[in-house]
């Protein structure tokens, strides 16, 4: 069968130049796949107040610090001060084993765009490398797409290579914004 005998919808588009839309680049990394497998294998649900104790415990095991005040404040914000609840918990046998705390901002720093801010993500060290973090992000992205959120932003410590690597594998990349800070004396 030649191209002339095909219908218009069956014709193959040949790219006119390298990088054209029709060209398939098998040399670049594949797009992140947050398909149903991660979400379906690991139960993910909306965060509840009763999760607080376990979230603090998981975070303490990850960071080596007790950040109870931070988690009290973030949970209050996520459950009572936000118009849209997007924070999630992953479970195994009815117990939280991972969490993601996020919020939706409809504009920040003078920009008008709906962006989700990923504040905290954590997976119980006993459950690392089992797809828990991917399941949480996968469900978060599905929920945010339903809300027509345009993107997700987060801040990562420069030396937190494990988290940077994980987020990179999930499709995050450095933004075009520069975060500035000043110590107040």
DSSP string spanning 92-106?
ETTEEEEEEEEEEEE
Classify residue 5: in a domain, yes or no.
no
**Residue 31 contacts by C-beta under 8 Å, 6 or more apart in sequence?**
171
pTM comes to 0.71
Report whether pLDDT(154) > 50.
yes
Task: Give the residue carrying structure tokens 């104790």.
Answer: 53
The answer to whether residue 114 is domain-embedded is yes
Q: Is the pLDDT of residue 142 over 80?
A: yes
Q: pLDDT averaged over the chain? A: 80
Give the separation between CA 136 and CA 154, rounded to whole angstroms.
15
Q: At what angle do helices 52-63 and 68-76 cross, to 10 degrees?
A: 140
Residue 27 lies in a domain: no
- Domain count within the chain: 1
pLDDT for 183:
86
The model's pLDDT over 95-122, given as tens digits with 9 standing for 90+, comes to: 999 999 998 876 555 666 778 889 899 9
Q: Check which CATH number belongs to the domain holding 163 and give it.
A: 3.40.630.30
- Residue 185 lies inside a defined structural domain of this protein: no
What's the average model confidence in pLDDT over 29-51?
A: 74
- Predicted confidence (pLDDT) at residue 3 exceeds the cutoff of 50: no
Find the helix or strand (DSSP H, E) in which 107 lies: strand 95-108
- 2 pLDDT above the threshold of 50: no
Domain that holds residue 43: 33-169
CB half-sphere exposure, 43, CA atoms < 13 A: 9
183 within a domain of the structure (yes/no) = no
Which pLDDT value is given to residue 181? 80
Check residue 124 and give its pLDDT: 96
CA distances from 15 to 23, 118, 152, 160 (A): 6, 38, 32, 41
Burial 122-142 (b: 16+ CB within 10 A, else e): bbbeebeebbbbbbbbbbbbe
| 93 part of a folded domain | yes
Tell me, yes or no, whether 51 lies in a domain. Answer: yes
């Amino acid at each position: 069968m030649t191209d002339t005998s095909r219908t218009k919808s069956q014709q193959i588009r040949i790219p006119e130049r390298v990088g054209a839309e029709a060209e398939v680049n098998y040399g670049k990394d594949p797009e992140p796949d947050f398909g149903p497998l991660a979400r379906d294998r690991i139960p993910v649900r909306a965060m509840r107040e009763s999760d607080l104790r376990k979230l603090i415990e998981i975070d303490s095991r990850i960071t080596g610090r007790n950040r109870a005040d931070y988690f009290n404040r973030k949970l209050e914000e996520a459950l009572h001060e936000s118009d849209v609840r997007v924070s999630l918990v992953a479970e195994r046998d009815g117990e939280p084993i991972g969490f993601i705390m996020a919020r939706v901002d409809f504009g920040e720093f003078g920009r008008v765009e709906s962006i989700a801010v990923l504040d905290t993500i954590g997976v119980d060290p006993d459950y690392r490398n089992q797809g828990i973090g991917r399941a949480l992000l996968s469900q978060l992205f599905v929920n945010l797409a339903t809300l027509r959120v345009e993107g997700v932003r987060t801040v990562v410590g420069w030396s937190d290579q494990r988290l940077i690597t994980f987020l990179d594998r999930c499709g995050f990349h450095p933004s075009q914004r520069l975060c500035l800070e000043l110590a107040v004396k």
